[in-house]
Amino acid sequence: MKSLSWCGPVAAALALLATPALSAQVVDLSLTDPDVDGFIYASGAFDWPPEGHSATATLTFSGLALIDAVFTGNVEERKTWWDEAIGGVWGNEYSLAYDCSLTGGCVVVTSPGTASGVLSTPLGFDRPCTPTTLGDCSSHFFPQFATFDGVFRVSPAARAPYSVSLTISDFTAVPEPAGWAMMIVGFGLVGSMLRRSRRGFAAV
């Protein structure tokens, strides 16, 4: 009897296509008032795209000069494999953390005052788990949440008013070729290295 190893990927792809589109998220940002050195800190949380989907994140700022920002995300991956030494099927879960910055090349400034990037989570896969299995038998991603942290430095002439907004939208299915579940790619977003020391910003 022939193996039906293609059933898993096909079923996963069909399930992906059947997944309803997610609603856009307008992230409620927490903003601090400028400190004595003109620094504003912003933070917020949003849902990471589910397995096999991507989303566009757009940061819009006004009344201030963008110095730095970074997006960080937590994506849980569950893997299953055949362990010949043990003689059975084994698995584990991994919590993967990512961040993206302007200097890292995964964020694009689309216009003065606006920057955006793409977040994506590969489509997982299933296949029979036997002693002849090469590599993992299955791999699936379980996005949790992502956080945005930003640092903005305001010029003396533009201390007020100021505003910062973050929108996560355009959730779409992203079927990828053989590279599904190899790694999280294409995540993105705004700014540069948030967690630089204040001394580093002062040098700008």
Alpha carbon of residue 12 to chain centroid: 21
CA distance 181 to 197: 35
Q: Name the H helices within 109-165.
A: none
pTM beyond 0.75, yes or no: no
Residues near 59 by Cβ (< 8 Å), separated by ≥ 6? 69, 114, 115, 116, 148, 150, 164, 165, 166, 189, 190, 191
Q: Is 192 helix (H, G, I), strand (E, B) or coil?
A: coil
The owner of tokens 């819009």 is: 60
Bond before 161 cis per omega within 30 degrees: yes
Per-residue pLDDT of the chain (204 residues; tens, 9 = 90+): 333 333 343 344 444 444 445 789 999 999 888 887 878 888 999 999 999 999 999 988 887 777 777 888 889 999 999 888 877 889 999 988 888 777 677 788 888 788 888 888 999 999 889 888 777 899 999 988 898 888 887 766 555 677 888 999 988 987 654 433 333 333 333 333 334 444 454 554
